[in-house]
């Protein structure tokens, strides 16, 4: 195994000086901000806070690098991305350690995120984009081809900071664009390290990483030198990004939140499926856009499912992500912690509601909330109508499948959903009635590099992944050429 470069040793040291990546070089800032460990609610590192001048220079560097990068073949760009993936694998342990410190998820989950990051960089860069002949009738040859847009502004969230960044990097760069990426200020460190790892692999200016707050994000969305914004985050912030981008009619892809329902049918294998449903609801402390947020259960099996879920919640190990055998860490930040607690208090005030497990914080530092199962709650409660994005699952009773489908669709969101049954054909038929961008039968969670992903309604705009995803980072162009007449 090759030795790691001296300049990159001790990558996970919280006292190590961190820098932005601008035009292939590391650069600090005059100001900085604290990064909080959510398992202790205390700061553990400082992060450079990019200035507007640094953002302008990063955009200029990306613009300058675009011409040469876009002229390279798909095969050449693919080789660069494969080298980047290999570098990420070389530093998987260090990156996972940083993610657990800043995001809070168990170390084993952080390791899976890094493995997924490397896989995405490779697999998404293997996607083939081909010209399409629309007509060749002896008079005209009309071809639809795709060309890169220019400079991509990417804004990534705090729940899966490096994994979700890798999707944008792979698709945007494969398509021939250059990029300026801004991570969430709650989890900027691993992404800054990703930029550092790229410096001697990708040509200068192709991939720039800047850390900063909301002002930098807004300026990135407005910037006249940015041709497309790819944003993953909340619905409210996505609307602000879209408004900011409208001034220059930037192309926009928004992957936003979801109030994702799951429907258990009465013929399901409840003993086998309930643990899978629990896992899909409480993954990453419930902080996954596609996680199960509402569960609809037939009335005749309601108590059985509620008891099973409550038992799983009571035995779920919650704690610091570095502790052995921990299954769930804390909520990632104080703002989200307070929001989830506010929803929980509203839930407790609902008439007739039962808290079957959890419903309380842990008696220790950090933003910890016990996994919570809620029964007998009305459809109009905030826990049902809003995306809680935390470890609380409402279990709702139904007597008619058509009613369950109608209630599942009664939301302004439409990211993901699932149907659970022993009859997969019936499950597929019901899945087709659900208003969501992705609907699974007998499983829930996960995205694949070659399968388009995105939401209906206010859960987003456009699609990521697959051919459709890469093409969203490109502009379609029609080439119409007359065919010379045969003499």
The residues that are catalytic are: 255, 289
In whole angstroms, give the CA distance from residue 375 to residue 373.
Answer: 7
Q: CB of 424 within 8 A of CB of 442?
A: yes
Pair of tokens at residue 45? 């590192």
Q: CB of 453 within 8 A of CB of 460?
A: no
| C-beta pairs of 307-310 under 8 Å, 24+ apart in sequence | 307/356, 308/270, 308/271, 308/274, 308/275, 309/274, 309/277, 309/278, 309/356, 309/357, 309/373, 309/393, 309/395, 310/356, 310/357, 310/373
In whole angstroms, give the CA distance from residue 431 to residue 273.
Answer: 17
Kind plus residue range of the DSSP H or E element containing 87? helix 74-90
Q: What are the E-state strand segments in 336-403?
A: 354-357, 372-375, 392-398
Residues 332, 337, 339, 344: what is their CA dihedral angle, to the nearest 10 degrees? 130
């Amino acid at each position: 195994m090759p030795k790691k470069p001296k300049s990159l040793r001790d990558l996970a040291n919280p006292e190590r000086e961190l820098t932005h990546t601008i035009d292939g070089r590391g650069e600090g800032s005059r100001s900085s901000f604290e990064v909080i460990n959510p398992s202790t609610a205390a700061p553990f590192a400082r992060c450079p806070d990019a200035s507007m001048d640094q953002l302008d220079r990063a955009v200029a560097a990306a613009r300058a690098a675009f011409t040469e990068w876009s002229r390279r073949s798909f095969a050449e760009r693919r080789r660069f991305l494969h080298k980047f993936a290999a570098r990420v694998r070389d530093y998987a342990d260090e990156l996972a350690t940083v993610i657990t410190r800043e995001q809070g998820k168990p170390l084993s989950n952080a390791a899976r995120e890094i493995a997924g990051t490397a896989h995405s960089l490779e697999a998404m860069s293997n996607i083939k984009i081909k010209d399409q002949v629309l007509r060749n009738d002896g008079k005209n040859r009309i071809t639809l081809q795709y060309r890169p847009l220019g400079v991509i502004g990417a804004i990534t969230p705090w729940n899966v900071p490096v994994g979700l960044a890798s999707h944008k990097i792979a698709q945007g760069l494969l398509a021939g664009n250059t990029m300026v990426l801004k991570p969430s200020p709650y989890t900027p460190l691993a992404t800054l390290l990703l930029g550092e790892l790229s410096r001697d692999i990708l040509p200068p200016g192709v991939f720039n990483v800047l850390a900063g707050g909301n002002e930098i994000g807004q300026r990135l969305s407005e910037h006249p030198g940015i041709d497309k914004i790819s944003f993953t985050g909340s619905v409210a912030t996505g609307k602000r990004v879209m408004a900011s981008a409208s001034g220059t009619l930037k192309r926009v892809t928004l992957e936003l939140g979801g109030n994702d329902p799951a429907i258990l049918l009465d013929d399901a294998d409840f003993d086998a499926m309930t643990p899978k449903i629990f896992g899909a609801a409480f993954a990453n402390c419930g902080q996954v856009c596609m996680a199960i947020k509402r569960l609809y259960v037939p009335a005749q099996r309601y108590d059985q499912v509620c008891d099973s879920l409550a038992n799983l919640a009571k035995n779920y190990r919650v704690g610091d992500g570095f502790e052995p055998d921990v299954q769930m860490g804390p909520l990632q930040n104080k703002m989200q912690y307070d929001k989830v607690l506010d929803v929980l208090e509203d839930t407790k005030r609902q008439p007739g509601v039962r808290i079957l497990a959890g419903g309380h914080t842990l008696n220790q530092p950090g933003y910890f909330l016990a996994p919570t199962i809620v029964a007998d709650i009305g459809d109009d409660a905030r826990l049902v109508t809003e995306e809680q994005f935390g470890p609380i699952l409402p279990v709702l009773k139904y007597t008619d499948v058509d009613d369950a489908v109608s209630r599942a669709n009664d939301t302004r969101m439409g990211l993901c959903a699932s149907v659970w049954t022993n009859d997969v054909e019936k499950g597929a038929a019901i899945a087709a009635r659900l208003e969501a961008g992705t609907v699974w039968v007998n499983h829930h969670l996960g995205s694949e590099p070659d399968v388009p992903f995105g939401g209906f309604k206010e859960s987003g705009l456009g699609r990521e992944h697959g051919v459709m995803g890469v093409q969203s980072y490109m502009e379609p162009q029609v080439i119409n050429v007359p065919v010379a007449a045969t003499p």
